[in-house]
Structure 1
Amino acid sequence: MAIAVETFILDPLHQGTLQRQLQELVTGGILSGRFRPGDRMPSSRGLARHLGISRITVTLAYTELVANDYLSARGRSGYFVSDTAPRPPSLSAPSHMPSGSRVDWSRAFAQQAPTEAVLTRPEDWRRYRYPFIYGQADARLFDHQNWRKCALQALGARDFDALTSDSYERDDAQLVEQVIRLILPRRGIAAHPEEVLVTMGAQNALWLIAEALLRPGRTATVEHPCYPPLRQILQHSGCNVRPVAIDGQGLPPQQVPAQTDVLFVTPSHHCPTSVTLPVARRREILDRADRDNFLIVEDDYEFEMSFATSPSPALKSLDRAGRVIYIGSFAKSLFPGLRLGYIVGPAPLVQEVRRLRSLVMRHVPGHIQRAAAYFLSQGHYDAQVHKMSRAYRDRRTVAEQAMRELGLTVAGSNTFGGSSFWMQTPPGVSAAVLAQRLRDRKVLIEPAGPFFGAAQDPGTHYRLAYSSIAERDIPEGLRRIAQESAALTPSPII
C-alpha cells in the first residue's frame, strides 16, 4: 500500500529542524500503527514538492530512518516501511470500561497544592510582533554553535560516565568547580564543593530550602509583591507567611517581624519591581538576622545583566555568621529550558537539602551538567553574557526614550540593568484589561496580579520586558501600549 503524500503536514510551531520534524512524522505513523511494514513511502521529490521544502531535506530524513530500521531502501523502487521496524505495543483492551470513577479525590489528596493565579503567556507568543514578555530566550542572541559543540562534547566517549552513570547524590564535579571558580567570585562569595548543590533551577532550590527549614508553626517572611511560585511553595509547607511591603529602596529591614524564622529576599534585583537594595540595608538585615536569630535566603537572579552599573555585593558576601543561603540560576543568562541552578550555603544545610533532593531525584541529569561545565570552562558563557548585556543595554535605551516621549509611567527604579521595567497604568485603567486589548494589536505585556496575590492586587501594574523583542520593534510596540492606555483612561467629569 502506498502512503499518500497528503498524509504529511508540517507544524509551523515545531521547534526542531524540518528534517527532524519529517522523521518524527514517519516514526509517529509507524509506532501508532498507521504505517505498516511494506507500505511504500512517497517519493522524495513528490514529498518535497508537497511540503514546499528541499528534496535533500527529505532524502536526509529518509536516510536517517533507514539507518534506524524504520524504513528500507529498495533500489529504484523507493523507500518502504521496514519489515523489522519497531512495532506499536499490542495491548489487550479490557472487556468493559468503568462508566465513572467512584474515588473522591478531594478526600484522597493528603494535601492539595495552592491554586493561586500564576504567570502565563500564550503558547504561540513568538507569533506576536511585540512580545514584551519576561525570561524567554532570544534565539537572535544565543550562541547555538558553541552550545551545540559543548553538548556534543559531553556526549563523547571521554564523558561516558558523566552521561550514563547513576551518581547517587553527587553533582558533576566539573560544573561545581566552574560555579566556585567562575561564578561565585563575581559576587564576592567563596565556597567549598561541600557547600554547593546543583538544582533543577531556582524554583527547585526554593522548594528544597522550604522543605528543609519550614513547617507549620514556623514563620517565613517575604517581600510584597514577590515571585508567585515562592508564595505557593510556602503556603504548601504550612508555615506562617508574613509579607512585608517594599518601598523605593526595596525591603525595609525594620519591618521584618522579630518572630521570623526564614527571610526570603531578592536584594540585587527585586522581583518584580527591579529595585536594588542598598548596601546599608543589606548590612542592617544581617544585623537583624543575628539579633533575632533567623536565616536568610537570597535569590540573586539576573545579576549578570548589570550593564548600567556594577552590581552591589551579594548579601552572602557580607555574611559573617553563616546565615545566608544563596540561590543562583542559569535560566536568564543561558535559557530557561535548561532548568539548571545551584544552592550555596553552610555544609550542614547543603547536606540536608541533598538528602531531600535524593527522595525526588538523585541529581540533575549528568549530560546537562557536563555540557554547562564545558560552556563555562571554554569561555562561551562570558561571551554569551557580554553579548546579551550589550543587546539589553541598547534595547533599554530605546525603550526609555520612547516611554518618555509617549508618557508611559515607570513605577519601579532600576539602576544596574536587567531585562524589564515595572510599569503602572493610568488612573482607572486595569492592567488585565489593557493586556487583553493589546493582544488584538499583536502586543504582549504581563499584568502583575500574580505577584501580589488575588486578595491584594491593585490591578494597576504590569511588567514590560525587553529580553524577547527586537530593538527595532520596541518603539512601535510602546506606541500601541500608549494608545490603548489612553483609550481606556476615563474621561474627567466636567
Structure 2
Amino acid sequence: MTLPVETFFLNPDHQGTLQSQIQQMIAQGILSGRFQPGEKLPSTRKLATHLSVSRITVTLAYTELLSNDYLTSRGRSGYYVSRNAPAPPSFTPTPNGPDAVDWNKAIGQRFSGGQTPSKPQDWAKYRYPFIYGQADPTLFDHANWRLCALQALGQRDFTPLTTDYYDQDDPQLIEFIARHTLPRRGISARPEQILITLGAQNALWLTAQVLLTQRRKAAFEDPCYHALRDILSQSRCHLAPVRVDQAGLPPEAIPPDTDVVFTTPSHQCPTNGTMPMDRRRALLERCREMDTLIVEDDYEFEMSFLKPPSPALKSLDTDGRVIYVGSFSKSLFPGLRLGYLVGSEPFIREARALRASVLRHPPGHIQRTAAYFLSLGHYDALIRRMGTALHERREIMQAAIEENGLQIAGQGAYGGSSYWMRAPEHVNTRHLAQSLQAKGVLIEPGESFFGGDGKPQHFYRLAYSSIPAGRIAEGIKLVASEIKSS
C-alpha cells in the first residue's frame, strides 16, 4: 500500500530546515504507528510537488531516514517503511483518574509561589518590549557561535563533548575565566577556586545551600533580584532585608548578627546604583569586624560602556570572605545558562560536591563552545558591538524620558541596559503594565523587587536591551500617556 501524499503537510511554525521538517514528519508518523512497516512512501517527485519544495530536499530527507533504518529502498520501486524501524508502543495508554494522594499533606516543602514574575514568552512579537534580560537577535553573533558549536562537535573534541566530568569542568573554559575574565575585574584565582554553574541564579542557590542554615541570618538588598529572595526564603534562614540608597547597600544598616551578606555593588539590581569605593571598603571592614561572609553578584559588569567599571569587591578582599558570582548568560544570551563561582577552595569544594549531587556538571558541549567563542575573540567583539548599540539606545531613551516628563529613580553610572523608574504614587504599575501590554508595550512592574508588607507599587523598570533604537521614543511616549491618564 502506498501512503497517500495528502497525509503529508509542513508545519509553518517549524524552526528547522525543510529537509529536517520532512525527516521529522516521517519519523513521527512511524513512531506513532500511523505509517506501518512495508508501506510505500510517495515518490520524491510526487512529495516534492505536493509540498512545494525541491526534489533534492525530499531526496536528502529520505536518504537520512534510510541511513537511520527508518526506511528501506527496493531498487527502482521506491522507498518503504523499514521492517527494522523503531516500533510504536504496543499498549494503549488509559487516562488517569483523580489522584488518591493528598498532595497538600504529601509535599514536605513548597518551592512554588515565589515572587519571581513570569515574562511573556512571545515578547519579541510586541512592538515596544522594554523588558530586561532578553537577547537581541540583531546584535548576537550567530555565525561565529554556530562555527564554535560545530568546532566543539568535531572529532578532536570528542572527549569534552561526551565525557562525564563528574564534579569537574572544561579546563579550557576554566583557564579562560582565570586568565582573561577575572583579571579584568582585578581578581586572581586558581582553577581550584572556580566552579562553572548553570547561570548566576544557580550560583546563588549553590551558595545559599552551602552557607546558610535555619539558624543563620542572611542580609540582602531591598529591593533586590526577585529570584534571590525566593532562594533565601527556601533556605529557611533568617532574612534581613536592608533598604538600599543611591549608592547601593549601606554597610551600617547590616544587622550585627548577620552571617552572610548578598550584594550587587557594581550594578545594584534593580535600581542600577553603583557602590563607590569608600563604601566598598567600609562594607569589607564591617563584615571583617562581624566575621561575616559576602556574596558579590557582578551580573552586568560587561555593560560598562560609559566608562571603565570600578574594581570588583572581590579584588579588594584580603581575607577570602568574598564569594564572587559571574555570568555569561546576560552578556551572551539567557538561554545559555552559564555562570561561575569564585571563592576560597574549601567553599568551592563543597559547592562542587553539591552541584555534582544535583546535576553533576553543565553540558560539556556548551562549555567547550563557550570556551571557543571566548578564546577566539568573538566574545570581546560582541561586547564592544553591544556597548555601542546600548549607548545609542540609552541616549535616545534618556532624551525621550526627559521630553515626556517621566521620572528616573535610578540609572547606571557606568552603563547598563535599563532605567529604574518612579511613577506618581497613585499609579499601580502592575495595572499600568497590563494596560500598556494591550497597546504593544511591555514594562516591568517594580513591586516584585521589594519584600515584606507595604511594598511600593509605583516603581517600574524600562530596559533598552531588546528594543530597536527607532522604536524607543514612540514607546516612551505611550508609557507617559498611559501614566498621565491613570
What TM-score, normalized by structure 2, do the two folds share? 0.94
CA distance in 1: counterparts of 2:16 and 2:443, whole angstroms: 27
1:2 aligned residue: 3
Deviates more, 1:445-454 or 1:220-229: 445-454
Would you say the 8 A contact 2:222–2:450 is kept in 1?
yes
Q: Following TM superposition, by how much is the alpha carbon of 1:181 offset from its aligned partner in structure 2, in angstroms?
A: 0.8
CA distance in 2, matches of 1:55, 1:415: 58
SS at match of 1:37: coil
| Equivalence for 1:491 | none
Q: SS in structure 1 opposite 2:301?
A: coil
Separation in 1 of the partners of 2:337 and 2:4?
40
With over 3 angstroms needed to count, the CA separation of the structure-2 counterparts of 1:265 and 1:81, relative to structure 1, is same
Instruction: Tell me the residue number matched to 1:401.
Output: 399
Q: 1:187 aligns with which of 185, 188, 191?
A: 185
CA drift of 1:48 comes to 5.9
Change in CA separation of 1:484 and 1:102 when aligned onto 2, cut-off 3 Å: same
Return closer, same or farther for 1:50/1:224 CA change in 2, 3 Å cut-off. farther
**Secondary structure class of the residue paired with 2:411:** coil
1:391–1:168 CA distance, 2 compared to 1 (3 A): same
Q: In structure 1, what is the equivalent of residue 286 of structure 2?
A: 288
Corresponding residue to 1:321 among 319, 322, 331: 319
Aligned to 1:68: 68
Residue type of the alignment partner of 1:2: L
Q: 1:471 to 1:26 in 2, by over 3 A?
A: farther
d(CA) in 1 for partners of 2:480 and 2:57? 45
Question: Which stretch shows the higher mean deviation, 434-443 or 64-73?
Answer: 64-73
| Contiguous gaps of at least 5 residues in structure 2 | none
CA distance 1:22–1:428, shift in 2 (3 Å): farther
| Alignment correspondent of 1:371 | 369
Match of 2:152 among 146, 151, 154: 154
- Letter of the structure 2 residue corresponding to residue 233 of structure 1: I
Rounded Cα–Cα distance in structure 2 between residues aligned with 1:447 and 1:81:
55
3-state DSSP of counterpart to 2:115: coil
User: Matches of 1:67 and 1:454 in 2, distance apart?
Assistant: 61
Tell me the CA shift for residue 269 of structure 1. 0.7
**Separation in structure 1 between the aligned mates of residue 132 and residue 78 of structure 2, nearest angstrom:** 48
2:213 aligns to what?
215
Q: Which moved more, 1:124-133 or 1:339-348?
A: 124-133
Q: Could you say which residue in structure 2 is the equivalent of 1:330? A: 328
**More off after superposition, 227-236 vs 110-119:** 110-119
Q: In 1, distance between residues paired with 2:103 and 2:216?
A: 29
- Contact 1:300–1:328 (8 Å) recurs in 2: yes
- The separation in 2 between residues aligned to 1:227 and 1:394, in whole angstroms, is 26
Distance 1:241 1:15, change over 3 A: farther
Offset from partner CA, 1:133-169 (integer Å, 9 cap, x none): 1111111111111111111111112111111111221
CA contact (8 A) 1:66 1:72 kept: yes
Match of 1:225 in 2: 223
Q: Secondary structure at the match of 2:410?
A: coil
Structure 1 pair 123–50 and aligned structure 2 pair: CA distance change class (3 A): farther
Shift of 1:37: 3.0
Q: 1:263 to 1:202 in 2, by over 3 A?
A: same
Q: How does 1:46-195 map to 2 (within 5 A)?
A: 57-72=57-72, 79-91=79-91, 99-195=97-193
Output one character per residue of 1:203-223: Cα deviation in whole Å (capped at 9) or x when no partner: 111111111110101000010
Structure 1 residues 485 and 70: CA distance shift in structure 2, 3 A: farther
Comparing 201-210 with 457-466, which one deviates more in the overlay? 457-466
Matches within 5 A, 1:261-300: 261-300=259-298
Structure 1 stretch displaced more, 180-189 or 41-50: 41-50
1:116·1:453 contact (CA, 8 Å) conserved in 2?
Answer: no
Name the aligned partner's letter for residue 351 of structure 2: V
Q: Which residue, out of 418, 425, 444, partners 2:423?
A: 425
Residue in structure 2 matched with residue 348 of structure 1 by the alignment: 346
Relative distance call for 1:53 and 1:311 in structure 2 (3 A) is: farther
1:161-219: CA deviations, max 9, x gaps? 11111122111111100000110000000000110011111111111111111010100
Alignment partner of 2:459 out of 458, 461, 465: 461
Match of 1:492 in 2: none
> SS of the residue aligned with 1:243?
strand
Distance of 1:76 and 1:423 partners within structure 2: 70
**Structure 1 contact 114–232 (Cα < 8 Å) conserved:** no
Conserved 8 A contact 1:3-1:39: no
Between the aligned partners of 2:399 and 2:225, the Cα distance in structure 1 is 28
- Residues 325 and 344 in structure 1, CA contact (< 8 A), matched pair in contact too: yes
Structure 1 unaligned residues grouped into runs of 5+: 489-494
Using the TM superposition, name which of 72-81 and 98-107 deviates more: 72-81
Structure 2 Cα separation of the partners of residues 219 and 114 of structure 1? 22
Q: SS of the counterpart of 1:412?
A: strand
Instruction: Determine the C-alpha separation between the residues in 1 that align with 2:39 and 2:160.
Output: 41
Moved more, 361-370 or 15-24: 15-24
Q: Would the aligned equivalents of 2:129 and 2:442 in 1 still touch at CA under 8 Å?
A: yes
TM-aligned CA deviation for residue 429 of structure 1: 1.7
Deviation at 1:480, TM superposition (A): 1.6
Confirm or deny: 8 A CA contact 1:306 1:418 kept in the other structure. yes
RMSD over aligned CA atoms reads 2.2
- Residue 87 of structure 2 aligns with an amino acid whose one-letter code is R
Distance in 2 separating the partners of 1:486 and 1:44: 62
After superposition, give the CA deviation of every residue in 1:361-410 in whole Å (9 maximum; x if it has no partner).
Answer: 22111111111111111111111111111111111111111111112222
SS at match of 1:337: helix
For residue 73 of structure 1, report the CA deviation from its aligned partner.
5.4
Mapped to 1, the partners of 2:270 and 2:239 lie a distance apart of 19
Q: Structure 2 CA distance, aligned partners of 1:411 and 1:48?
A: 59
In the superposition, relative to structure 1, how do residues 26 and 127 fare at CA in structure 2: closer, same or farther (>3 Å)? farther
Shift of 1:6: 5.9
Q: Distance in 1 between matches of 2:63 and 2:424?
A: 60
Change (3 A) 1:397 1:215: same
